[in-house]
Amino acid sequence: MRRTEELNHAVDVYFRGIYNCDVTLLNEVFHPASSLFDVDEGVVTVDPYPVWREVVANRTSPVSTGHERTEEVLNIDWLSDAAAIVRLRLRAIDSIFVDQLSFVDGADGWQIVAKVWHLESTL
């Protein structure tokens, strides 16, 4: 039960970090060497976490525009006691994203080591 609660806490930190564009929160849950992946029109984009973090730090946060926090965990797939894949959906301003986050539980707690994301729709 403890590992599930800890993982859920890390997911909530991720949600709050995205909603507030708060890189301090995101730094808590992203491993410094993690990468983010997307494919658009057949082109794979890979961003190291520090590059993506700066993008987030410089964009308008959903909370500052009055958008309500909209998010859901779709699935958790436990690979082991120390590794899990979390699929979730969230809204960021006028975009709905589906993210697949690869988490590992190491010395610094649950951290995202890879994120694959997809822009599901825009509002």
- What confidence score (pLDDT) does residue 123 get? 84
Query: Distance between CA atoms of 75 and 86, rounded to whole angstroms?
Result: 6
What is the C-alpha separation between 65 and 4, in angstroms, rounded?
Answer: 32
63-88 confidence digits (pLDDT tens): 999 999 999 999 999 999 999 999 99
Residues sharing a CB contact under 8 Å with residue 68, sequence separation 6 or more, in sequence order: none
Distance CA 110, CA 107 (A): 9
Tell whether pTM > 0.85: yes
pLDDT value at residue 41: 87
Which ranges in the chain belong to alpha helices (H)?
A: 2-20, 23-29, 49-57
The C-alpha angle 12, 17, 18, rounded to 5 degrees, equals 100
User: Could you give the CA distance from residue 3 to residue 9 in angstroms, rounded to a whole number?
Assistant: 10
**Residue ranges of the chain whose pLDDT lies below 70:** 1
